Amino acid sequence: MADGTRPAEPMPLSRWLSKNLVLVDGPAAGDLWSAAGAPYLAEIADCLSDDHPCNFVTVRKSQQSGASILALGWCLYVAAMEPANMLYAVPGIEALRDLNSGKLQPLIDAWQKHTGRTVILPQTARSGAGSTTFEKVFAGGRLYLGNANAVMDLSSKTIKKGVRDEYSKWTDIPGYGDPGNLFFGRFTAFRRFKTFKILDISTPELDTGDETGETEGHCRIDRRFKLSDRRFWHCRCPECRQLFVHSDDGLIVDEAHPHRSVYACDCGHHLTESERILAIDEGRWIPTFEDGDHPGFHIDAFVSKMMSYEAIAEDRLAAKTETARKDYTNLVLGLPFKPRGDAPDIEKLMLRREDWMVRGEIPPQGLILVAAADVQMRGIWLEIVAFGANRESWLVDARYLDGDTADHKGEVWESLRKHTIDCEFPDAFGGKRRLDAMAVDSGYRPNTVYAWVRQHQRAHPDTGYDLILATKGQPGWGKPAIGQPKLVDIDLGGRKVKQGAKVWSVGTWPLKADFYSCLRLDGIKSGAPVDPDGYCHFGAWVDEVYFKQLTGDRLEPVKVHGRVAGQRWAQIKDNHFHDCRIYNGAMAEYLGISQITPEQWQDLALRRGMPPELSAPTLFSRTTDHRPAADIADSPHPISSEVDQWPVDVEPRDSGWIGRDTSGWFNR
Ligand SMILES: [Zn+2]
């Protein structure tokens, strides 16, 4: 019989953790949790006990902060000390499994072994009363684990305590709306007496530039933090004895010797790493926003004892691309990232053109070949781009096909076919290659585009995927580069075909930010030792008109009642080639450029005629992770006839990145 029903002495969470929580990984595995390793955690923990009056606690954090253990430790504490129904939600089914088998269950086992008590019923119980993978049973309540990106079947459950973990990565559930609101809906029974408690905890994501964080796509944890009393851990300078908050500007990085990096206090003193540790231990939380309605805590690498000035300096030095800077901002500084949106300089781009590139030919490392067409009333703009394993890209062709686009059997459409899907492109090894995927923007003449795509559609022999995609751009941050296809009706000269065409949504905003960061990279032509990951190559045949269009968009602030309410991409001049390039980026994602492993690249390279000495898998390992700022949806995609009506048991956009099966490329 479990003895979890024995009345427990009241004890704040921080003290309880130090007597009960046995760490299961990291350098201190096997030891009891201690606040000495992370002094900032004790106050956060104590906000979670019942005797603290708050209903919400927000933690905006960097990686390596030790804060995640608090959320898990709280679950055990609730089971042992303050039994109630509890809901712990993470985004994605993989994250959910990892939460249980990688973290929660080992902690439960280690805790119960340490105390010799069985508070949470074992999973082996057969009566139906025992625990399951996603439901932990204890006297007086249950702990439910849920996937935040799917509709959780909890309608009959009344929940009193909850954790919204990795809250910034929660995505809207089409047809159901905001998952944060769905989650909160389970707490209704306790709202009247304000006896519920919710912990929001996450590393941040995107900053839309909105001061209140209310804009769609703005990082959720930052939005919560802005509503809170915004507590920062103030460290004490060993020299002037003043309290201060670390900021990235204050870190003086020694590029040649990162271990000599120091932090400049306002008093002029330079703190060393050993002084940092003392400064943290002498620190305390101070709220910085009077109107905040709940306790909110910011934790970054500067106050984490698992990090050091040296480690932060190294991370900052490595953050050279826009995506790497986003990671540094999110994961090290614990802050949301605001993408840079000014257009790259055309003159600089003109000077970087490379003489060896031949128009219409695929360069040696260009293993993926994609095309994108921007259809206008009087003609079609076309761009063809080759991508390498490290996202380096080479412009293969760019042209304008003149002619009325109204009839999908018209001359200009024939010309498009000739220059794209019917074309054989010579490669650097004496072979010929065809396109791997092509996007045709359906924004201007949807019906004509659908009809043309329908007429010429074929499955790519290597990928098995559709060769041609009718695409439609979607504004907004937080949209996947390539979304779920949607079936639409088409009109073929008066004959209506129900669900006769497929349209693919393209989340253009993150792709734009990513493309501009690649376009700004310096390569060999500008004196760099190598062409970095993501570098964009252009031949000498490219003219100024092309570059003007390529850089035709920029990010502009959106003002509402005089205050900045966000940033949006705006067209500043003709931007057809810019649009083409963004769709080409989406095609590379459609083909799985972010998920293909070095071994798969090698296989592809050999099959595409690359000499073996150039095809070793190590040559395909990226030096930096370079993905667009937003998640990429799973692909190949299940078809849903109405994107807004998901079947309830389908998990949209679940952990598309990692376990994705790209074998379609190689096994067909
Ligand atoms: Zn000082």
The pLDDT of residue 489 is above 60: yes
Residue 285, beta-bridge partner list? 233
Q: How many whole angstroms from 269 Cα to the centroid of ligand 1?
A: 5
Residue among 451, 383, 457 at smallest CA distance from 421: 457
Q: Report the separation in Å between the CA atom of 330 and the middle of ligand 1, taken as the mean of its atom positions.
A: 27
Q: For residues 450 and 471, is the Cβ–Cβ distance under 8 A?
A: no
Instruction: Give 3-state DSSP helix, strand, coil % of the chain, rounded to 5.
Output: 30, 25, 45
CA distances from 653 to 201, 204, 419, 513, 514 (A): 21, 19, 34, 21, 20
The mean pLDDT value of the chain amounts to 86
Q: Which amino acid is at 417?
A: R
CA dist 244 and 298 (Å) reads 14
Q: Quote the CA–CA distance of 337 and 203 in Å, as a whole number.
A: 11
Output the CA 325–ligand 1 centroid distance in Å.
28
Q: Cα(222) to centroid of ligand 1, in Å?
A: 29
pLDDT, one tens digit per residue, over 42-97 is 999 999 999 999 999 999 999 989 898 999 999 999 999 999 999 999 998 888 98
Instruction: State the pLDDT at residue 655.
Output: 27
Summarize pLDDT for 387-440 with one digit per residue, the tens.
998 899 999 999 999 999 999 999 999 999 999 999 999 999 889 999 999 999
Distance of CA 38 to CAs 70, 251, 280, Å?
Answer: 11, 21, 9
CA of 331 to the centre of ligand 1 (A): 27
CA of 245 to the centre of ligand 1 (A): 11
CA of 271 to the centre of ligand 1 (A): 8
Q: Are 519 and 551 in contact (CB under 8 A)?
A: yes
Q: Which structure tokens are listed for 212?
A: 């209140």
pLDDT of 1 > 50? The answer is no
pLDDT grade for 528, boundaries at 50, 70 and 90: confident
Query: Ligand 1 mean position to 149 CA, how many Å?
Result: 46
Query: Residue 476: is it exposed, middle or buried by C-beta count within 10 angstroms (0-12/13-18/19+)?
Result: middle
Using CA atoms, how far apart are residues 300 and 307, in angstroms rounded to an integer? 9
265: CA distance to ligand 1 center in Å? 5
DSSP 423-465: --EEBTTS-EE--SEEEEE-SSSHHHHHHHHHHH--B-TTT-S
Q: Residue 264 Cα, ligand 1 centroid: separation in angstroms?
A: 8
Give distance in angstroms: CA of 258 to centre of ligand 1. Answer: 22
Q: How far is the CA of 508 from the centre of ligand 1 (A)?
A: 46
CA 276 to ligand 1 centroid distance, Å: 12
Distance 91 CA to ligand 1 centre (A): 42
- What digits encode the pLDDT tens for the residues 537-566? 999 999 999 999 999 888 887 777 766 667
Q: For residue 268, how far is its CA from the centre of ligand 1 (angstroms)?
A: 6
CB 441 within 8 A of CB 373: yes
Cβ burial, residue 567 (10 Å; 0-12/13-18/19+): buried
The predicted-structure confidence for 588-600, as pLDDT tens digits, reads as follows 999 988 878 888 8
Residue 464 binned pLDDT confidence (cut-offs 50, 70, 90): confident
Q: How far apart are alpha carbons 127 and 99 in whole angstroms?
A: 25
Distance from C-alpha of 114 to C-alpha of 38, rounded to nearest angstrom: 22
Per-residue pLDDT, 663: 40
Instruction: Identify which has the larger pLDDT, 549 or 626.
Output: 549
CA of 262 to the centre of ligand 1 (A): 13
Element (H, E) at 17: helix 13-20
Find the 313 Cα to ligand 1 centroid distance in Å.
Answer: 20
Centre of ligand 1 from the C-alpha of residue 194, in Å:
43
Domains of the chain: 13-332 (3.40.50), 346-667 (no CATH)
| Alpha carbon of 241 to ligand 1 centroid (Å) | 6
Do residues 653 and 633 lie in contact, with contact meaning Cβ atoms separated by under 8 Å?
Answer: yes
Q: How far does residue 242's CA lie from ligand 1's centre (Å)? A: 6
Least confident of 509-513, 567-571, 610-614: 610-614
Predicted confidence (pLDDT) per residue in 218-233, tens digit: 899 999 999 999 999 9
Question: For residues 166 and 199, what is the distance between their CA atoms, to the nearest angstrom?
Answer: 11
Give the Å distance between the CA of 459 and the centre of ligand 1: 66
What pLDDT does residue 466 have?
92
243 CA to centre of ligand 1 in angstroms: 8
Within 476-575, residue ranges assigned H as helices are 508-519, 544-550
Query: Among positive and negative, which fits the CA dihedral 170, 176, 182, 186?
Result: negative
Question: 237: CA distance to ligand 1 center in Å?
Answer: 5
Number of Cβ atoms within 10 Å of the Cβ of 7: 5
Residue 559 CA, distance from chain mean position: 26
Angstrom distance (rounded) from CA 587 to CA 240: 56
Read off the amino acid at residue 648: V
CA distance 466 to 464: 7
235 CA distance to ligand 1 middle (Å): 10
3-state SS, residue 375: strand
CA distance 93 to 102: 13
Contact of 388 with 588, CB cutoff 8 Å: no
Scan for tokens 């949006």, then name that residue: 568
Distance from residue 244's CA to the centre of ligand 1 (Å): 8
Strand 393-402 relative to strand 536-537, pairing: parallel
275 Cα–ligand 1 center, Å:
11
136/198 Cα distance (integer angstroms): 18
pLDDT tens sequence across 511-522: 998 899 889 888
The rounded percent of the chain whose pLDDT value lies above 70 is 89
